[in-house]
A and B are shown apart, each in its own frame.
Chain A
Amino acid sequence: MENAPILVVMAPFIGAYLIPLLGLWWERYCYWVAAAATGLSVLFSLTLVGSVLAQGTIYYTVGGWEPPWGIELVVDPLSAFMCLVVSLVSLLAGAYSRSYIKKELPEGKATSYYTMMLLLTGGLLGVSVTGDLFNLFVMTEIFSVAAYALVPMMGRKGSFLASYRYLILASIGTSLLLLGTGYLYMVTGTLNMADLAARLPVAYAYHPWVVLAALAFFLVAFGVKSALFPLHAWLPDVYTVAPAPVAVLSTLVTKVGAYSLIRVLFSVFGMPLITGAIPVAPALSWMAAAAILAGSVVALQQSDIMRMLAYSSVAHIGYVMLGIGLAVQLGLTGGILHILSHALAKGCLFLCAGAVMYRAGIRRIDDFRGLGYRMPLTMAAFTLAAASIAGIPPTVGFMSKFYLALGAMETGSWVLVAVIVAGSLLTALVYLRVILLMYFGAREGPQLKEEPPLGMLVPIVTLALACAVLGIFVRVPLSLVGPGVRVLLGM
C-alpha cells in the first residue's frame, strides 16, 4: 500500500463528493457511504501505522512533482498516530450520528450533514499527513469551513450566531496563517517543511524580525484553532449549540490545531530556535498553566452539561499545550498521549451528554438526579470517561498526566507540577458533582430503563472501554508516540 498516505485523505473527500449526488434520490444510503469512507480511512491509517513502525518515516510525492516544488506528504510516527485517532473517533461519531440525527436534526439535513462530516474528517487527516506548509493552510481551511457549517445544523436558538463568531475569530487565525507562510516563503524561498527546517536557521541570522513575526502569526493561528486560553472565546458557544457528534469532531479540530502547532514548532522552526533564540516554549507553558486553572474553575460554575464539558476542554487543551511548552521528551510524550486520552474521554462524555438529551431531554446538570438508574450503561461509560479525564489510574488519562508531571519535574519547574496536580483535582471536582447527582441524587418519577438505541450505545461504550484498556496497555499507544517524539526532538 504505497499510496496509503494520499488514500487516507482521499477516501473521505471522494465520499463527500458522492453523497450530495446520492442524497438527491436515496438519502437513506448517505450514512452507509459516510461510514464506508471513514472506515476506509481507518484501514489506511492502520496500514500507515504498520509501515511507519516497520520502515520509519514515509515520504510521498503527490502527482509526481518532486519536492520542494510539488506537495510532499510526510508520514512519521506522530502523523500516523494522529491519522488513527482522527479516523477512529470520526468513525465512532459517524456511527452514533445515524440514530441521533433522525431525531435531533430537521428533516432533509442528513445529506449535507454527512457531506460536511466527511469534508471535516478529510481536512483533519490532510493536516495530519502533509509535509507542505501551504497545503497545511488549505487543509485547515477545508476542515474549518466544514466545521462552521456543521455547528448550526440543529437550528438551535443562537446557533447561527455561535457559528458566525467562530467563523470571524477562526478566519482571523487562518488569514494570519497564510501571512506567516508568506513571510517564511519570503526569507527562505520554499514551502516544504523539511526544506524550511534546513534553511530557517540561516534565514533567522539574516532576517530575525521576519522569522519572529511569522512565528507570532502561527502561534495566534493555531492558538485560535486549538482554543488555547485566552483565544478560546468561540469554543463554549459552539459546543453548546452543536449536535453531540459535531462536538466530538470539534474536539478533534482543537487536537489537530495543537498538532499543527507541534509540527510548525518542532519540524519547521526546530528545537534550537524555539527554546534558545526565541523562548516561545516557556511562554507556551505558562499560557497552558493559565488555561488549565481558568478552564477548570469556570467549568465548575456551569449549570449546562455541554458548557461544562466545553470549559473542561479548554482546560485539557492546556495540558496538551503544556506538553509542547515543556519541550522535553517526557513532557512531549505526555502532551501527545493526552491528545489521545482527551479525544477518547471527551468524545465519550459528549456522546453520553447527547444520549441523555436524546432520551431524557435533559441538559441542566441539576436534572441529572437519579439518571444513573435510568440509563445505567450510558452513565457507567460517563463515569469511566470522567475518571480518565480526571486522571485516575489505571486509565489512559492518568498515564498522560503522569508523563506530563514527570516532564515538568525534569525541567525543574515545580509550579507547573503543582498546576498539573491542582488541575486534576479541579477536574475531578467538576465531574464528581455530576456523578454524585447521577447515582446518589433523589430519584423522582417513574424509573424506566431508557438506554439509547444500540447504534448510539456501541460508540459510547467503545470509547469508554478504550479509555480504560489503553491505560492498562499504555505500551500500545506509546509504541507510536515514543518514536514520534524522538523524531520531533531529533534524537
Chain B
Amino acid sequence: MSDLVIPGNVPYFISVALLLIGLYAMVARRNLIKKIMGLNILSTSVFLFLIAVADKRGGAPPITVPGVDLYVNPLPHTLVLTGIVVALALTSFALVLVIKIYQEHGTLDADRLMKL
C-alpha cells in the first residue's frame, strides 16, 4: 500500500475523492440543483483523471519546439476538451429543466417531488 502513495499518484487520489463526492451529491442530496453540482463534480473528477494520465514528469506543452523531445501526451487533453463541451451542454439543459420543474411543482426538493 505504501508504494501507492507517491507524489505522482496524488491527482488520482483526488480524482477518486471527487468522484465519490460527486456521486454522493447526486444520489443523497435532495435539492435538484445540488444534484447538478454533483454531476459537475463527477465530470471534473474524470477530467482530472485524464489530465493526470497525460502528464509526464518534466514534459513540455505539446507544441513542437526545436531542442525539446519530452512532451506531455496531447490526446487526453482533446478528450477533456470534448468532455467539457458535453458537460456544459448537459448542465445548461439540466438547469433549464430545473426551472421548468420549479414552475410546474413549486419546489426543488426531490423527496417532495417524488410524492406528487
Q: What 19 new A-B contacts, CB under 8 Å, besides A161-B101, A168-B39, A186-B53?
A: A138-B86, A145-B90, A148-B93, A157-B104, A161-B104, A163-B97, A164-B97, A164-B101, A168-B94, A171-B39, A175-B39, A175-B43, A178-B46, A178-B79, A178-B83, A179-B19, A182-B49, A185-B50, A185-B76
Interface size class of A (residues with CB under 8 A): 20 to 34
In the assembled complex, the Cα of A179 lies from the Cα of B49 at a distance in Å of 8
8 A Cβ contacts from A100-150 to B: 134, 138, 141, 145, 148-149
Task: Kindly state whether residue A62 has any CB partner on chain B within 8 Å.
Answer: no
Given contacts A152-B100, A160-B101, A182-B53, contact A172 B23 (CB under 8 A): yes
Task: Kindly state whether residue A230 has any CB partner on chain B within 8 Å.
Answer: no
Task: Kindly state whether residue B1 has any CB partner on chain A within 8 Å.
Answer: no
Contact A182 B79 (CB under 8 A): yes
Could you name 15 residue pairs across A and B whose Cβ atoms are closer than 8 Å? A134-B82, A138-B86, A141-B89, A161-B104, A167-B94, A172-B26, A175-B39, A175-B42, A175-B46, A178-B46, A182-B50, A182-B76, A185-B75, A185-B76, A185-B79
> What 1/0 flags go to A165-187 for Cβ under 8 Å of B?
00110011011001101100110
Contact A172 B53 (CB under 8 A): no
Task: Kindly state whether residue A393 has any CB partner on chain B within 8 Å.
Answer: no
Majority SS of interface residues in chain B? helix
List the B side residues contacting A141 at CB < 8 Å: 86, 89-90
Contact B23 A164 (CB under 8 A): no
Majority SS of interface residues in chain A? helix
List the A side residues contacting B32 at CB < 8 Å: 164
Residue of A134, A138, A182 with most chain B CB atoms under a 10 A cut-off: A182
In the assembled complex, the Cα of A264 lies from the Cα of B50 at a distance in Å of 20
Hey, which bits of chain B sit against chain A, CB under 8 A?
19, 23, 26, 32, 35, 39, 42-43, 46, 49-50, 53, 75-76, 79, 82-83, 86, 89-90, 93-94, 97-98, 100-101, 104-105, 113, 116
In the assembled complex, the Cα of A152 lies from the Cα of B53 at a distance in Å of 39
Task: Kindly state whether residue A158 has any CB partner on chain B within 8 Å.
Answer: yes
Contact A158 B116 (CB under 8 A): yes
Contact B86 A167 (CB under 8 A): no
In the assembled complex, the Cα of A145 lies from the Cα of B79 at a distance in Å of 18
List the B side residues contacting A152 at CB < 8 Å: 97, 100
| Minimum Cβ distance to chain B for residue A354 (Å) | 23
List the A side residues contacting B97 at CB < 8 Å: 148, 152, 160, 163-164, 167
Going nearest first, the 4 A-B pairs with the smallest beta carbon separation are A160-B100, A164-B97, A141-B86, A160-B101
In the assembled complex, the Cα of A152 lies from the Cα of B39 at a distance in Å of 21
List the B side residues contacting A134 at CB < 8 Å: 79, 82
Contact A172 B42 (CB under 8 A): yes
Contact B82 A161 (CB under 8 A): no
In the assembled complex, the Cα of A138 lies from the Cα of B49 at a distance in Å of 18
| Minimum Cβ distance to chain B for residue A179 (Å) | 5
**A163 — nearest CB in chain B belongs to which residue?**
B97
List the B side residues contacting A145 at CB < 8 Å: 86, 89-90, 93
List the B side residues contacting A175 at CB < 8 Å: 39, 42-43, 46
Instruction: Determine which of A157, A164, A179 lies in contact with B94 in the assembled complex, contact meaning CB atoms within 8 Å.
Output: A164
| Minimum Cβ distance to chain B for residue A271 (Å) | 28
List the B side residues contacting A164 at CB < 8 Å: 32, 94, 97-98, 101
In the assembled complex, the Cα of A186 lies from the Cα of B100 at a distance in Å of 41
List the A side residues contacting B90 at CB < 8 Å: 141, 145, 167, 171
Contact A168 B35 (CB under 8 A): yes
In the assembled complex, the Cα of A174 lies from the Cα of B94 at a distance in Å of 15
In the assembled complex, the Cα of A245 lies from the Cα of B43 at a distance in Å of 31
In the assembled complex, the Cα of A433 lies from the Cα of B105 at a distance in Å of 35
In the assembled complex, the Cα of A185 lies from the Cα of B101 at a distance in Å of 39
**A178 — nearest CB in chain B belongs to which residue?**
B46
List the B side residues contacting A163 at CB < 8 Å: 97
8 A Cβ contacts from A175-205 to B: 175, 178-179, 181-182, 185-186, 191
**B19 — nearest CB in chain A belongs to which residue?**
A179
Instruction: Determine which of A157, A158, A168, A185 lies in contact with B53 in the assembled complex, contact meaning CB atoms within 8 Å.
Output: A185
List the A side residues contacting B82 at CB < 8 Å: 134, 138
**B99 — nearest CB in chain A belongs to which residue?**
A160
Residue of B46, B76, B89 with most chain A CB atoms under a 10 A cut-off: B46
List the A side residues contacting B86 at CB < 8 Å: 138, 141, 145, 174
List the B side residues contacting A167 at CB < 8 Å: 90, 93-94, 97
List the A side residues contacting B101 at CB < 8 Å: 160-161, 164
**B44 — nearest CB in chain A belongs to which residue?**
A175
| Minimum Cβ distance to chain A for residue B64 (Å) | 16
In the assembled complex, the Cα of A53 lies from the Cα of B39 at a distance in Å of 44
Residue of A138, A175, A181 with most chain B CB atoms under a 10 A cut-off: A175
List the A side residues contacting B100 at CB < 8 Å: 152, 160
In the assembled complex, the Cα of A182 lies from the Cα of B77 at a distance in Å of 11
List the B side residues contacting A149 at CB < 8 Å: 93
In the assembled complex, the Cα of A174 lies from the Cα of B42 at a distance in Å of 11
List the A side residues contacting B35 at CB < 8 Å: 168
| Minimum Cβ distance to chain B for residue A462 (Å) | 33
In the assembled complex, the Cα of A148 lies from the Cα of B96 at a distance in Å of 12
